[in-house]
Amino acid sequence: MAQVPDTPVRPGTAVLTRGFDPSLSVGSARPAVFRSSTYVFSSPEAAERAFNVASGRAPLEPGEKVDLIYSRFNHPNAEILEDQIVPLEKGATQAVVFNSGMAAIMTAFFACGRLGSSIVHTTPLYGGTTQLIHQFLEPFGMTGVAIPAGQGEALDEAIRSAKDPSIVLIETPANPTMIMTDIRRAAETAAAHPARPVVMVDNTFLGPPYQHPLMLGADLCLYSATKFLSGFSDLIAGVALAKDEALIQKLRRHRGLFGNILQPDECWLLDGRLPTVTLRMNRQSKNAQRIAERLVGHRRVKRLLYPTLFDDSEQVRIRMAQCDYPGALFSIELYGGKAAAFEFLRNVRIASNAVSLGGVETLTCHPKTTTHSGMTAAEMDLAGITDGLVRISVGIEDWRDLLADFQQALDAI
């Protein structure tokens, strides 16, 4: 940036002022797209140095810039995006971007897991993550230990008693029940364990503006940037952020081997969305809160799952301690089971019936038959995913139109 402020600035400013030098893009005020697959070295010695640093054989000296090598390892648009996303995540010093949220999670597992070790995780998790642990990593020789979301005592006990725990993965709030798990508590238990498992939080639902896992003792913050970070349901991306630079370097080296870096065009698109993520989420969260709090008590609504409507005192405590705002997702459990849920989905006119979440447009889905259909009946019971449950991701439309639409859709069941 031409003018980097001398005094530290807040995240909303830093996201627009750091990490991009117009002089490297012929003066362009916004980043250009660099689509080259390979980069010309400034000298054979610089090429040798770049390979030594990229492979981890030599450390990067403070302030040193090494030549780019090849776009599977790194490229300018990934560097710009990684620099600009860091100020949005409280406590982060470095980021690494991937070509999907699943790629970020998979790479983190391979970078931090060990053969014969355990992954202790909350359940429900994102469906893909559950399958990755139990159907892919278990046959490879790792063990997944699932603990229901929100049960701090049981999670502590699982971390203490698991066979060689290498990873603790927390997804909070849980999808689609919104049950919250205490990040600080799990991080303290993990820190006290001699095996020192890496604590990862999938922060897709409330981050980066509303929940700050790295400030609560987590080691790695993971995102499906496909959701709120990108915000327009038009690209797939993932991000990992950490306080510890060595941990990010490790993920970066694995990314180079796996070939799952985010491509230049996608980096450029996502980078352009960063300055508005807090604006979008503020509007989405306010909309969701206004709508959810007004749908409570409708004769068709059995339960409304939303953070400001928690009645369990431990859940209220966790929300107050770890979340700044309640977010854009809520779930409604309807009287009348699956038939009522399907009728509601058919009756809704403004929102679309689609999976995914976090976009500027409102989306509705039936978790039991779609996003969570891979779970066994016992797992669904444990997680509270019922026939009558509908998940809603609220967008930036006028909340009064959405409310009226949901009310007519409920009335018509």
Ligand X SMILES: *Cc1c(COP(=O)(O)O)cnc(C)c1O
Quote the tokens at residue 404.
């009226």
Q: Are 237 and 204 contacting, i.e. CB atoms less than 8 angstroms apart?
A: no
Backbone phi, then psi, for 257, in 5-degree steps? -75, -45
Cα separations in angstroms, 352 against 149, 192, 347, 358, 406:
28, 46, 11, 13, 12
Q: Whose Cβ is closer to ligand X: residue 74's or residue 204's?
A: 204
Of 107-115, 121-129, 157-165, 245-253, which segment contacts ligand X by CB under 6 A?
121-129
Contact status: 226 vs ligand X (CB under 6 A): yes
Of 50-58, 126-134, 341-349, 394-402, which segment contacts ligand X by CB under 6 A?
126-134
Of 100-108, 142-150, 183-191, 288-296, which segment contacts ligand X by CB under 6 A?
100-108
According to DSSP, residue 269 is labeled H
Q: Which of residues 231-250 bind ligand X (CB under 6 A)?
A: 236, 238
Residue among 356, 210, 233 nearest 285 (CA):
210
Contact status: 128 vs ligand X (CB under 6 A): yes
Q: Whose Cβ is closer to ligand X: residue 214's or residue 340's?
A: 214
| C-beta atoms surrounding 324 within 10 Å | 11
Nearest approach in angstroms of CB 227 to ligand X is 6
| Residues 348, 26: Cα–Cα separation, whole Å | 49
Quote the tokens at residue 19.
């990490």
Contact status: 224 vs ligand X (CB under 6 A): yes
Contact status: 202 vs ligand X (CB under 6 A): yes
Give me the residue label for tokens 């019936």: 353
Question: Which residue in the set 130, 204, 322, 386 belongs to the binding site for ligand X (CB under 6 A)?
Answer: 204
Contact status: 100 vs ligand X (CB under 6 A): yes
Size of the site for ligand X (CB under 6 A): 15
Contact status: 173 vs ligand X (CB under 6 A): no
Please report, as a single letter, which amino acid is at residue 188.
Answer: E
- Report the interface residues with ligand X, using CB under 6 A: 100-102, 126, 128-129, 171, 175, 202, 204, 224, 226-227, 236, 238
